[in-house]
Amino acid sequence: MDRVGDWIIMLAAASIMGWWVLRRLDRWLHEPPGSRLRQLAAAGGVEEDDIVRLLREFDYEVLSGKHRIPLRVAVDGQPSMPTRLYFDYLAAKESKYYLVKLDRARQRMEWTASALRERLLVYALMFPDCEGILMVLPQEQQIKIVRFKVEDGEE
């Protein structure tokens, strides 16, 4: 009799686990695009400063500021090493999201295609629901929008 009872308990536990996994999978599959960005927007606060005012002058709504994304890197099976990826603000305009990076004096942006790719492509790949990356040039009081597009075909 103990064996039948053990099987019933095992089947009940497996059923509950299966139901939970299917529910999580269904929720993940039906998650709307941009939900990760909305979570970031809800998580961060915004302090009023010159950059926020500049973004508002250009009709951007600043949703949150100063984000740090923790990453781990492993090479050839060695223990993984921690690192971080930073962006300054998350903004929206006309229901489209934009990551905001500042052009800092100590690390000026080089405006060539290869330099933009090396420095900003990671953000576009991590947040594909973003419309683009806003580069704020505080000294010039300018905002430039950087977008990446994968071209079809070979050269």
pLDDT at residue 83 is higher than 80: yes
Average pLDDT over residues 115-133: 89
pLDDT at residue 20 is higher than 70: yes
Average pLDDT over residues 43-62: 82
124 with 149: CB under 8 angstroms? no
The more confidently predicted of residues 144 and 151 is: 144
Gap between the Cα atoms of 56 and 77, Å rounded:
47
pLDDT at residue 135 is higher than 90: yes
Q: How confident is the model at residue 31 (pLDDT cuts 50, 70, 90)?
A: low
Average pLDDT over residues 127-149: 90
Domain boundaries, the chain: 1-30, 35-146
Average pLDDT over residues 86-108: 87
Beta strands 96-102 and 61-73: pairing type?
unpaired
Q: How confident is the model at residue 41 (pLDDT cuts 50, 70, 90)?
A: low
Class of the CATH domain delimited by 35-146: alpha beta
Q: How confident is the model at residue 154 (pLDDT cuts 50, 70, 90)?
A: low
Q: What is the pTM of this model?
A: 0.68
